[in-house]
Structure 1
Amino acid sequence: MRPGDPNLDMLELMAAKLGQLTEQLVFVGGSTTGLFITDPLLPPVRVTRDVDVITEASSRQDYHQLEESLRALGFSPDMRPEAPICRWQIGVLILDLMPTDAAILGFANRWYPDALTNADTTRLPSGRVIRTLTPPHFLGTKLEAFHGRGNGDYWASHDMEDIVCVIDGRAEIVAEVAASNEALRHYLHAEFATLHADPMFAEAVSGFLPGDAISQTRAPRILQRIAALAGKNLTVAVNPKTPQNQNHEPRETRTRPLGSCRQPARQPEPRRFVRKYQRIIRDYNREKDAAEIARIFEQLMALDKELDAEERRFVREGFDNDEQLAIFDLLQKENLKPGEMDRIRKAARDLLPKLEQRRVLADYWQERAASRAQVETAILDHLYEELPETFDENEVRLLSARVLGLLMRPGDERRLH
């Protein structure tokens, strides 16, 4: 278990909310990545918003009985159009309840039944015990998930990022895979052989690491472990830091997802369409005759056709850069009223400027260990002040930890100045 795992507080709170029901569940997914890390020097794992669990429900009736148990504990189904049908909420906590049988909800992961049968137990810092995957089953479920939703894009995949993180942070993973059952072992060998042979994957491994020279030296070791996981005994020679004067198509055309905690550093700046949208609105405010209004309306319609669903949401919420939207997503909870959503938007917009005004970010990067508490206190103060009163103290503290994990990603020194 990695010290400082940004997802531990969420796992603790979720296990407390589920109570004895945890005995029927196995915790899976990105929120558990840090539980497999044994290297204390590994950079922080990815911050997640939800907790995934699997359960052995032999019929729809069994699954519905489990849903009723969740309702009795205060959970409610997430009715938002974009939410998966397995999603439940309680306060700021999000739970995805997935059966191992694909016939129940129409989807499943091929390794969930075997993973549930062979589940381990993990003791959280509070002393509470939860059931988790074995490290080889974690890799198997993540690889299967990547094939289902990754579209072959290593750079944009949270699943692939979590896989690389565990391989990087767990030296014993090679021996554990070698000792796993035959079916899983053969599957992992074949999958990692494919990855090892793909030069684009080697590029992505470097991209998952912080950009500093010391962190980039971990890439050859990761690729050596992947070669071993593929059943190869190879010495991998790669340049740990791609020269900046070379052009590599994957780095220029592939983008990393929002909230990825090991994303290369960049300056927070408005997306291209935000500037275009703002310019159109300024033109509208200057001109009021019918012909000009019609022209501006046509421009807005043309811009709308250029945007995907996420970009439309970006404009709708009124944010200027990706960081504001990422923070906004972290701060949401169930059953918020319009006025409360407005306060959350304001909290997301104002947080970075307030931290910069207090100079805690600059101080953090100059004396990281001594100043982390100052950054955490500043975030907590801001959220206590700005969030609606419907957020209780535990929720505010959990959200503060999530935001801290998002902002304090390795390599973000330049991004936050």
Structure 2
Amino acid sequence: MVESVRRAVLAGEVPATGAAFADAVGSSGRLLGSEGTLSALDHVRAELKGLGPLEYLLAEETVTDILVNGPDDVWIDGATGLRRIGRMFDTDEEVRALAVRLVAAGGRRLDDGCPAVDVRLGGLRIHAVLPPISTAGTLLSIRIRRPRVFTLPELVASGTIAPAMAEALTLMMRHRLNFLVSGATGTGKTTLLSTLLGLAGHQERVVLVEDAAELNPSHPHTVGLQSRHGNLEGAGVLDLTELVRQALRMRPDRLVVGECRGAEVRELLSAMNTGHDGGGGTVHANSANAVPARLSALAALAGLTPDALALQAASGLDVVVHVVRDARGRRVESIGLVELSPGRDLEVTPALVDTREGCHRAAGWSGFALRVGWTGPDPGPGRPSHACWRVLPSCSHSPGRFRGAGGNSRVRSSSGRPVFRESASG
């Protein structure tokens, strides 16, 4: 039945629509009954427009990735980690046919002349590799973009964010600190970034720049730009670097780069240093301490020296939020301040760390508490003996973003990094 409908579509006799598929199934002459007809229609639609035998996996809300390593080796990734499904195809030719069809639907081609392709198709990001580039048959990797956006209370309830960490992140967004969400692949960086952007003021305009459109924050004024691959001749490329430049002309209150992976980091840091507060993005890093090295490597692609990168990042960036995925699941592990070391190297000083014993303040806590106007009890054992801070009404969305109690003010050091004076009246 699937083959007959496919031939009819290719011959132009049946349009590739759900109603036409239903008519074709109904006119097949087979006695299927109402339930059988619906089942056959779902099968035809999956084979001709969906993911074929993988289609049913989309119905599982926890599935984030589908990985096909051949006809008899299919895996899924989700809340409980990687899990093997087993055989889903009879032959490798079926896997290749599905990969070719999906890539073609995304406007590109997959063949011996172009054996590795990445395309975006609706809410899916699809990557396919053919033999002999692949040594194990046709490889197909599908990343699923879920439309649902988690709220901060939901992430707290699931254990992804500790309550004290949630309060710190809320204040970070309220006081428009520039931030990066770091973490390894699959740790939930994009999910957390979407949630944080939902905390931005509803009067603010958020401009998203992404290689693949994955961010979908619950915010009333969000616009997005998506990069574009070149055609077969290599023309028509629009990369993230150019899109960040274009975004700066769109009057953003918050400029967000979905994933910093190249020379666009120079443009983002430049924007953060020229009055565009509240911006952010994600970056791949195995730990918060590894973020400076990662930024240095990306900046080198843009021609920035390590010294120039350190000055730009220390002046423009405020916070690194690091997420991990371990035996406890996906969670926010730490919040750290971006600073210059005495040797003028870029470093991330932990301010709030989530361990098995709970959230604890670290070396950078006093500086972070000052920047966000922390008023509650300090997390972790004990209370610091230095001054307590309260938020003054004048700090709301002001150029300096915050002011401490007792007349503390934000000033600039000789390096350009914000520093603070503490009065004795705290």
TM range (shorter): under 0.3
TM-score (norm. length: structure 1): 0.24
Higher-Rg structure is 2
TM-score (norm. length: structure 2): 0.24
Greater relative CO (CA pairs within 8 A, separation 6+): 1
The structure where helix makes up a greater share of residues is: 1
The structure where strand makes up a greater share of residues is: 2
